[in-house]
Amino acid sequence: MKITEGQDLALLSQLLLARGPGGQEDEVRAICHEYLRPLCDDVWVDPAGNVVGLIKGKQRDGIAGRAVKVMAHMDEIAMVVKRIETDGSLRVTALGGANPVNFGVCPVDILGDQKIIPGVLSFGSMHATRNTAQGADVLSGNVHWRDVHVITRSSVEKLKAHGIRAGSRVVLSRHWREPFRVGDAIAAHFLDDRAPIAAVIQAVQRLDQRRLELACDVYFVFTTLEEECNAGAMYAAATLPGDTTIAVEVGPVMTEYGTRLSIDPIINTGDQKSYYTRSVVDGLATAAQRCGYTPQHALLVDFASDASAVMSNGSSARAGCLAIPTENTHGYELIVDGAIQACAATLAEYLTTL
C-alpha cells in the first residue's frame, strides 16, 4: 500500500486509533505489516514480536554495503492491572513511563483475554477532603498510582470470565484517541511513537523509488516494549545484520534542550543511556540540511531510545536518533504540519548516502 500526500493524516489516524500497550501491540503490528509488505523485499514478524521489513541495497563494485537497522517502537504508555478489588474495580500501575497525570480521569479499554470491556480511570471524587490519603493527594495535585482505580461496573466473576486478571493491559479508550487539529498542528495521545512510525513508512516509500542509490541493506524494525525495557530492540540488534542502528522518535520541545516546535528535525546527540556516534549524528544533520531543513542538535538528558539502549549494551557498534519535535511528550502531544514528512525525507536522504 503506497501513500500519497492526501493519505498522510489517514495513516497517522489509523495508527493513533490502534491500541498498542507494551507486549500487546497486535493492532499496531498489523498496520505496520500491511504498509511494509508491498514496499520491501521481505517482511516478517520475529520471535520478539517486532515487524521487520528489508530493502536490499545495490552492491557497488561487487561489494555489498553495511546493513543498517532503523527502529521505531510500536508500544505506547499504558497501565497494567495489579489486582481486582471485591467490588470489581481495578487497581493499576504504570506500563512504561506513565504517570496518572498523563491520562487524567478518562475512559479506558480493558484488554481481557476473551473480551475488551470499557472502564473509567478514576482519582475519586473531587469533593474529597484531606481526611483520606487519596483526597489529600488529589487536592495537592500530587496523584500517585495508589490513588487511582478503574471503575468497571462488573463483578469479579464477570471480569474473570472476560479474562481480566493481574497483568491485563488497560489503555486509553478509542473514544479519546482521535487526532485534534490546532491551527497548523495535530494533537493526540500517542504521537509517541505513531508519528515516527508514519515517518518511517514514508521513508520506506521514498526509498522504494530510489533503490539504485541505496548501497546498504536496510532493516526497518517496528519494535515491541520500548517504553518498558527496549526488549524488542535488543533482540533485533542481536539477531539482524548491521553495525549501525537509527532510532526514529519524538523529541521533547523544551527550553532546557534548546529545541523548538517546527518541522526541523531534532538530531539527538545523547541521552540517559548513551552518547550517540558522532559520525552518525553528523550524517543525519547533513541529510537534514540537504533536504532544506535546519537540524536541531540536542542533548536530551531525560530521554532514551531503542538506539541508545542497544548501543549501551554493546549490541550495536554505532547509533543515532532522529526525532520529530513534539510538545507535551508522554501527554497530549502536538506536532506541526510537515514534521513527519521532514523526518521521512531526512531519513531517506541519510540512508541513500551511506
184, part of any domain: no
Q: Does residue 181 form part of some domain? A: no
Find out whether 78 and 150 touch, Cβ atoms under 8 Å: no
Select from 125, 152, 175 the last residue of a domain: 175
17 falls within a domain: yes
Whether 199 and 64 map to the same domain: the answer is yes
Rounded-to-integer distance, Cα 333 and Cα 102, Å: 10
**Residue 183 in domain:** no
Residue 23 and residue 134 share a domain = no
Averaged pLDDT of the chain: 93
- 3-state DSSP call for residue 192? helix
Structural domain for 142, as ranges: 78-175
Mean pLDDT for 60-71 is 75
Residues 286 and 219 in one domain: yes
Confidence (pLDDT) at 9: 87
> For residue 144, what is its C-alpha cell?
500517585
d(CA 67, CA 62): 15
Return the CATH number at 71.
3.40.630.10
Instruction: Report pLDDT for 183.
Output: 97
Rounded to whole angstroms, what are the CA distances from 221 to 18, 30, 49? 18, 13, 10
DSSP 248: E
| Whether residue 137 sits in one domain with residue 68 | no
In a domain, residue 180? The reply is: no
SS3 of 209, please?
A: coil
Residue 122, pLDDT score: 95
**Residue 2 confidence class, pLDDT cut points 50, 70, 90:** very low
Whether residues 212 and 337 share a domain: the answer is yes
Regarding whether 287 and 199 lie in a shared domain, the answer is yes
Q: Which of 175, 202, 218 is the last residue of a domain?
A: 175
Residue 182 covered by a domain: no
Half-sphere exposure of 99 (CA within 13 A, CB side): 10
Give the whole-angstrom CA distance, residue 187 versus residue 197: 16
Question: Same domain for 156 and 25?
Answer: no
227 and 330 assigned to the same domain: yes
Domain boundary residue among 125, 144, 175? 175
- ∠ Cα 91 96 99 (to 5°): 60
pLDDT of residue 7: 67
pLDDT digits (tens, 9 = 90+) for 294-345: 999 999 999 999 999 999 999 999 999 999 999 999 999 999 999 999 999 9
Q: Would you say 314 and 303 are in contact if contact means Cβ atoms under 8 Å apart?
A: no
Residue among 29, 27, 80 at smallest CA distance from 50: 29
Say if residue 130's pLDDT is above 70: no
Answer yes or no: do 71 and 203 share one domain: yes
Confidence label for 124 from pLDDT (cuts 50, 70 and 90): confident
pLDDT per residue as tens digits for the range 71-122: 999 999 999 999 999 999 999 999 998 999 899 899 999 999 999 999 999 9
Say if residue 237 is in the same domain as residue 323.
yes
CA atoms within 13 Å, Cβ hemisphere of 117: 23
Of residues 138 and 170, more confidence is placed in: 170
Q: What is the pLDDT of residues 152-178, one digit of tens each?
A: 999 999 999 999 999 999 999 998 999
Domain count, the chain: 2
Give the model confidence (pLDDT) of 234-263 as tens digits. 999 999 999 999 999 999 999 999 999 999
- Is pTM beyond 0.85? Reply is yes
Residues 230 and 331 occupy one common structural domain: yes
Least confident stretch, 42-46, 94-98, 183-187: 94-98
Per-residue pLDDT band at 127 (split at 50, 70, 90): confident
302, 327: one domain: yes
